[in-house]
Amino acid sequence: MSDTRISVGLAQIAPIWLERDATVDKVVTWINKSAAGGCTLVVFGEALLPGYPFWVERTDGARFDSELQKSLYAHYVSQAVSIDTGDLDDVCSAARDNRIAVYLGVIERATDRGGHSLYCSMVYIGVDGNIGSVHRKLMPTHEERLVWAIGDGNGLRTHKLGPFTVGGLNCWENWLPLARASLYAQGEDLHIAIWPGNAHNTGEITRFIARESRSFVVSVSGLMRKSDIGSGLPHAKLLLDTADDLMANGGSCVAAPSGDWLLEPQSGDESLYIVELDHEQVLEERHNLDVAGHYSRPDVTRLIVNRKRQTTAEFSD
């Protein structure tokens, strides 16, 4: 492989739904598969660890003070990821041992916000196994706001990976032009968009972002089927009775900086899709449009980004 090329793995998989430790084991297995396939980077879907809250829209999730909703939320918190206490250590070790970078969607139990609220976070782990950024979703979408808190700008960061500068966003925040612009301004030329799953979300925006930014865009989605609901979960019978046979069908895909498909949206079974990217194509497409460079006018319009991690208290001892 030349110095201008990398291979990226799109791990379109289902979680062991709402079971953190078992899902971590599954993620590690797919990291190993990706490394064996020659990947420099592997990407997993939004909220994969320990899973997207599919129950909310199916079980009257907006009912205030519902014993059912409180019970399901409590289980969700118990299975969420606490980075400070080492819940991602095995994932980091797999990245380091395989010399592969990882983007992983997690539900984060944030100790710096008290430890009881949940954030939909996108974690970047470098080839050295160190966590490079944790981006908390800026604005959860619709029913997600019943279980996820709003994030901040701390994770709006890019990372060098071979010849590329990689960054990413969660699901519908990919539609936010200023969030995208904050990554473009940092030199992003490989954009990662992660989704809980469904091809209707990824088909248009993946090519649109590629055309706008003249970057490669990798969209990775999860899967969720009724058969992924374990019988040991709280209220398992209700969850099974209200579930659709297929709640997330994938839709992972890759667009080139020209907007052409390298991998059209893929739906169906769990699979690892590997796509080779050549940075030379970025340079070619930036010739006539570079939205953070020669085609920008910072003397006319300029973006201010607050990347301070937001907390409710600062202590001086």
Catalytic residues: 46, 137, 171
Whether residue 29 contacts residue 178, with contact meaning beta carbons closer than 8 Å, is answered with no
Q: Is 255 left (phi over 0), alpha (psi -120 to 50) or beta?
A: beta
Query: What is the distance of C-alpha 76 from the center of its chain?
Result: 18
What residues have CB less than 8 Å from 243, skipping those under 6 apart?
54, 58, 226, 229
Cβ atoms of 165 and 158 closer than 8 Å? yes
3-state SS class at 74: helix
Q: From residue 66, how far is each of 57, 132, 150 by CA, in Å? A: 14, 38, 22
Instruction: Quickly list DSSP for 255-279.
Output: E-TTS-EEEEEEESS-EEEEEEEET
- Taking the CA of residue 57 as centre, how many other CA atoms within 13 Å lie in the half-sphere pointing to its CB? 11
SS3 state at 132: strand
